[in-house]
Structure 1
C-alpha cells in the first residue's frame, strides 16, 4: 500500500444539463477536489463532450468521462488525448465494457454463477485487449484510467490495466478485504507497489427527505458524520480516497465544498491547496 499523506477526493456528476455540469465542476474545483466523473444514461449527454466544456471553464480539477471500450481503440484514445490537451493534462477516462443488450441481460441473469463468472472474465479480457491497443496510441504518457469494480473479475482487470479503481464496500471490514484482494492481484499482474490507487465509492445524502438503492454504500447524515466515515475508511479501511455520488448534486456538492472539505482539512486528511502538475502527478502516479 502506498504512503498516503492526504485522501484523494472526487465527485460523480451526471450530464443532464451542460451549464449545471460546468457550474458544479467549478464549485468542486473551489473545494480542491482531485477530479469529477461524468456519467451517461437516459436523458444525459455525451460525457467526453461535457468534460470538454468543463475543461474550458476550469483550471485545476481533473475531468474523467465514461467511454465505452468499443470500435477503434485509436479513436477512443484520440478523444481522451484531445480532452487532455484541452485541459492541460487534467483528463482521465473511465472505460465501460461494451456488451450487446442481449449479452447484458444474459449476464445479469447469470451473475454469481460459474457460467456468469466465465462470461464476465471474457468481457473484461476483451476490454483489457482494447485498452492495450489504446495504450499504443497514447504512447509513453497516458491519462489515468479509472475503473469501477464490484467483483474479482473487475478487480483483476483493474489491477492489470487501471490507475485508479473505484470499489464499493459496505463497511470498513469489507473495504479492508477488497483492498487486500486488489493489492494481491496488482502484485500478480507485475505492478510495482504504489502504482494503483483504491478509492471507495459512497453515495451521499447530506439532507433529508430522500432514500435510494445503489450498488455502493449509502450515507445519510451530517457533514461531520460524513467526515467521520471518510476518516475511518481512510485510516482503518485502507482507502486512498473517495468518489462521492451526491443524491442531489446541487445541494450536496455545495455542502461537500462548504462544510465537509473544511472539516477534513482541519483533521489533516485533505490538502489545503492544489499541487502543480497533471492529474497523474496529483494522484501520485508514475
Structure 2
C-alpha cells in the first residue's frame, strides 16, 4: 500500500496545541518540519503532504494557526531528505499557470524528482476576498482548473527530452529546435511560453487531487495520479473507490494509474485503553466556540443560535462551497443521530476523516481491511499530534504492516513517480 504523511502544524486534532505532547511555538520552525520529514523517511513512507489555503483558516484565538507557505517549506525539506516525495497544495483559482509550472519544476530539480502538486480550486469565500473578488461558482472554478492544467502541462513540455546538448567544443548548450513556445490562447489564459527552466527530472510532478464532488471526481479521472479523500465507513470508501476507478477507461486510463488514499487519523497506544485515554484527553481540550465556527464555515450556515446539545439542523449547503464535505458531515450526523456538540467532537480529530484509536495491531487491521477490500490503495496519514503521533505510526504501525507484507521495507526507484508505480512523463 501507499502511505503519505499529511503534516499540519503540531497535529491534526484542533486541540493538539493545548496538549503537553506538543510545542505550538514550532509551527513556523523549519527544524520542526525537518524532523517530521526525517521521521516519515525513516518509515519509508511514499511522501509528505502540505495542505494550504489563501486565507487564515479558523479563529486564531483558539488554535495555533498561521503556518509556512508549502513550496518554500518543501524546498527546505528537500535538502535534508533523499527519498521521500514532497507534495504541495497550490490553487488554480488564485495563481497563474506560468508561476506554478516554474515553481514545481524548480522543486522537482531541487529534490531530484520528488515533487508532487495537490491541485485545488479553493472553495473558501475568505480566499476570494483576499484577492478582491467574489468566490467563483463551483463549475467555473473547475473549468478554469482544466485550462490551467492544460497550460501548465504544455509549459512543462516546452522543453523536450534531449534539449540540453552541453557541447563546450561547439559552443552549443541547447538544441533550440526542442524548446518551443506553447502559444496558448483560451478562455482564461493567454500564455506564449516556453518555460524559463529546463525540463524537470520527472517530466512533470505527481498530480494529486482532493475534491470528491462530481466535478472533482471527473477532474481526478482525467488528470489525477493520486486522490486524497475522506470517508467514514468501509462501505462509503468502497463506493467512492469503485466509482472513481470506473471513470478512468472513459479517459483512456488504467486503474493502476490512479491511487486512492483516504485520510485516517490514528490515535495510537500500547493498549487500547491507553489510546482511548489519549483520545479523551484531546477531546477534553476542545474549545466548543472554535469547533462551532469551523462547522458553520464548512456548512455555510451560522449555527451560533442553535443549542450545542441539540440536533444538527437540516442545512442545504452552498452549491459553490465544499460540497462533498457537507454531504459527509450531514451523513455522519444522521447515521449517529449526533448533536452539534458531538459533530464538533467527531470533526475535531480529522475534519471529516476517519479517526481510529487503538493499538498498532488494531490500526494495521483497519488499514489492511480497507486495502484488501476495494476501499483504498493506501492512506493519507493524519497524526493527531506532532511529532509524537507520526513517530508512533512509523515506529509501531509501519513495522506491523511490513511483517504482513503490506508495505515496503526499502525504497525502490529514484523519483516520487517511481514510488507510485508510474513512468516518467515524456514531452508531448
Smaller-chain TM-score range? 0.7 to 0.9
2:411 aligned with 1:274: yes
Aligned mates of 2:88, 2:126 — CA distance in 1: 25
2:81 aligned with 1:58: yes
Residues 100 and 244 (structure 1 numbering): CA distance in 2 closer, same or farther, change over 3 Å? closer
The alignment partner of 2:407 has SS state of coil
2:30 aligned with 1:18: yes
Aligned mates of 1:159, 1:200 — CA distance in 2: 16
Aligned mates of 2:152, 2:74 — CA distance in 1: 20
Quote the residue 1:247 is aligned against. 384
Deviation track 1:221-246 (CA, whole Å, cap 9, x = no partner) reads: 22211101100010013411111111
Residue 282 (structure 2) aligned to one of 203, 210, 215: 210
Q: CA deviation at 1:103?
A: 8.6
Where in structure 2 are the equivalents of 1:39-188 lying within 5 Å?
A: 39-40=51-52, 42-69=65-92, 70-98=94-122, 101=125, 119-139=137-157, 141-188=203-250
Aligned mates of 2:126, 2:80 — CA distance in 1: 40
Contact 2:242 2:374 in 1 (8 A): no
**TM-score, reference length from structure 1:** 0.88
Residues 204 and 193 (structure 1 numbering): CA distance in 2 closer, same or farther, change over 3 Å? closer
The alignment partner of 1:33 has SS state of coil
Aligned mates of 2:386, 2:371 — CA distance in 1: 23
> Which ranges of structure 1 fall in alignment gaps of 5 or more residues?
1-6, 106-117
Q: CA deviation at 1:264?
A: 0.3
Residues 50 and 103 (structure 1 numbering): CA distance in 2 closer, same or farther, change over 3 Å? closer
Structure with bigger helix share is 1
The alignment partner of 1:36 has SS state of strand
Quote the residue 1:264 is aligned against. 401
Bigger Cα Rg: 2
Residue 365 (structure 2) aligned to one of 228, 231, 242: 228
Moved more, 13-22 or 240-249: 13-22
Aligned mates of 2:146, 2:352 — CA distance in 1: 23
> Which ranges of structure 2 fall in alignment gaps of 5 or more residues?
10-26, 58-64, 130-135, 161-202, 269-274, 284-344, 424-428
Aligned residues: 268
Quote the residue 2:2 is aligned against. 8
Aligned mates of 1:10, 1:100 — CA distance in 2: 25
